[in-house]
Amino acid sequence: MASSKTPETLDFVVVSNRLPIDAKPAKNGAEKWVTSPGGLVAALQPVMKGRTAAWVGWPGRVDIDLEPFSLASTHYFPVALSAVELEEHYEGFSNSTLWPLYHDVIVQPEFHRTWWETYKKVNQRFADRAAEVAAEGAFVWVQDYQLQLVPQMLRKKRPDLQIGYFHHIPFPAYELFAQLPWRADILHGLLGADVVGFQRKTDASNMREAVRRNFGYSMQKPMVRVPLRATPPRNRKAPPVTASKTREVMVEAFPISLDVQSSAKLASSDAVVKRAKEIRKELGSPKTMFLGVDRLDYTKGIRHRLKAFGEMLQEGTLKAEDAVFVQLASPSREGVEQYRELRDDIEQLVGRINGDFGHLNRPAIVYLHQNISREEMMAMYVACDVMVVTPLRDGMNLVAKEFVSARTDHRGALVLSEFAGAADELDEALIVNPHDIDGLKEALADAAAMSAAEQKSRMEHMRKVVVENDIKRWATSFIDAVKPPERKRRR
Ligand code: ADQ
């Protein structure tokens, strides 16, 4: 897969834990690259389209050292990880320490010093690789919680670079973040960027508060003044910093979006509209089709929503002859114990509800633990009556925005958790607290009974919001924040 065409350095460099593609065996025995699913990839793919850029990341398999390769205008620079590094950096510190801690401790985070050591080591490797491929003065865009130390490591090696960091998941309230034994190092790492971007305003203010409480740096929202010679302070409250030489770091919200035009185009294509009709037929032409689409993750609230649906069938608010719940669950983090347990719990719950209420030719819940194509996903969005997006905590949740983008027919209702970042913009959805099972049941019933006129008016409003704030606007506003004209002049 080595390519002689891969340039040595580039002006636009994205760094993410995972490259956006997987190697899959092709029919001829060779390998072909296919897109790997997930929110980060869905958001960044359109930003990269047509841009000559480098993408630095792990290619998805351990203990192999792949040469750089190029596909279209993107040049991929694989970072090798060993099996132990995958276990301790990705499954361990990223997904069993940071992920639960940053999602409000829905499950208990684990703190292990060996994991932290590996996290540092792997972050350094990503920073070194990015430093090698970035041209003089390049824009380097670091993505997400697996790489929070990279901005500072990169700044140390390459002070000429313009560094942006975007955090795709929530940043928790200080009372929770403070549990992290390495909180000061993480904050110091992030502050190596010129701009630290978050999904919601509350995430940005949580980080600024953490910086204030740990380091005492002065700030004027959204800017934080960081001493030029900052070193990671110890984990105790520091006295106010009075250093005269400082640099400014912007800590601000940049709510992520998607390529609305291309989703809308695909959703209204003949093939997708035809497939949507087929899906309803295959489901036995139900009166109400509910739909959930998630990575199989305990933050997504799948259990709560299926429990609410089961209770509605039990109480007779819904009848299995009339309603079907389609739950797509994309396989996720199967190496982590909590995810294996979650899968067992959900499959048991689905089995119980289907056992109690299903019919021979029609289960109450259609559950698919698999990845489906973008076309099929769009057809599902178009086919359903009620889209149920009820995470217990979520940075943004692109599924909610994908659904709204797909409904060019201005039909369908969206039930949306107040704990998803998307709720800030999609306030015409039926907003729920997913922990409140009775409230959830009421919202599902209201959504199922919503008149066509109300669906239209709510959907028109939501579509206006997503069309205005699409992925181009997100990327442009972030990139402009990292390199405003005055910053460029100062260099
Ligand atoms: P995720 O937690 O991965 O992303 P989300 O934003 O919902 O969550 O994106 C999921 C993506 O995966 C969507 O594009 C969806 O279409 C796709 N997907 C889900 N199930 C699938 C299936 N069965 N088959 C194929 N595709 C499937 C993280 C944060 C989010 C944030 C994004 C982007 O946790 O809060 O919105 O990054 O910043």
Which residue has a Cα nearest atom 33 of ligand 1?
A: 39
* Predicted pLDDT at 243: 63
Three-state DSSP string of 416-471: EECCEHHHHCCCCCEEECCCCHHHHHHHHHHHHHCCHHHHHHHHHHHHHHHHHCCH
pLDDT tens series, the chain, 491 aa: 444 467 788 899 999 999 988 777 677 767 777 777 666 777 787 788 778 899 999 988 898 888 998 888 889 999 999 999 999 999 999 999 999 999 999 999 999 999 999 999 999 999 999 999 999 999 999 999 999 999 999 999 999 999 999 999 999 999 999 999 999 999 999 999 999 999 999 999 999 999 999 999 999 999 999 998 777 666 555 555 666 688 999 999 999 999 999 999 999 999 999 999 999 999 999 999 999 999 999 999 999 999 999 999 999 999 989 999 999 999 998 888 889 999 999 999 999 999 999 988 889 999 999 999 999 999 999 999 999 999 999 999 999 999 999 999 999 999 999 999 999 999 999 999 999 999 999 999 999 999 999 999 999 999 999 999 999 899 999 999 998 765 554 44
* 216: region left, alpha or beta (phi > 0 left; psi from -120 to 50 alpha): left
Distance 43 CA to ligand 1 centre (A): 9
Nearest residue to 372 via CA among 281, 304, 470, 275: 275
CB-ligand 1 contact for 402 (6 Å cutoff): yes
């389209």: which residue's tokens?
Answer: 49
* Predicted pLDDT at 48: 80
* Predicted pLDDT at 491: 46
Nearest residue to 417 via CA among 402, 395, 450: 395
Q: How many CB atoms lie within 10 A of CB 93?
A: 28
pTM for the model: 0.94
* Predicted pLDDT at 63: 87
CB-ligand 1 contact for 371 (6 Å cutoff): yes
* CATH architecture assignment, domain 10-256+474-490: 3-Layer(aba) Sandwich (3.40)
Q: What are the residue boundaries of the structural domains of the chain, listed by start?
A: 10-256+474-490, 260-468
Of 143, 146, 399, 401, which is best to mutate to test ligand 1, by the most ligand atoms within 8 angstroms of its C-beta? 399
- Catalytic member of 89, 168, 188, 304: 168
* Predicted pLDDT at 233: 62
Atom of ligand 1 nearest to the CA of 368: 23
CATH topology of domain 260-468: Rossmann fold (3.40.50)
Of 147, 381, 396, 471, which is best to mutate to test ligand 1, by the most ligand atoms within 8 angstroms of its C-beta? 396
CB-ligand 1 contact for 42 (6 Å cutoff): yes
Quick check: do 10-256+474-490 and 260-468 share a fold?
A: yes
Nearest residue to 296 via CA among 352, 371, 353: 371
Answer yes or no: 168 catalytic.
Answer: yes
Distance 461 CA to ligand 1 centre (A): 23
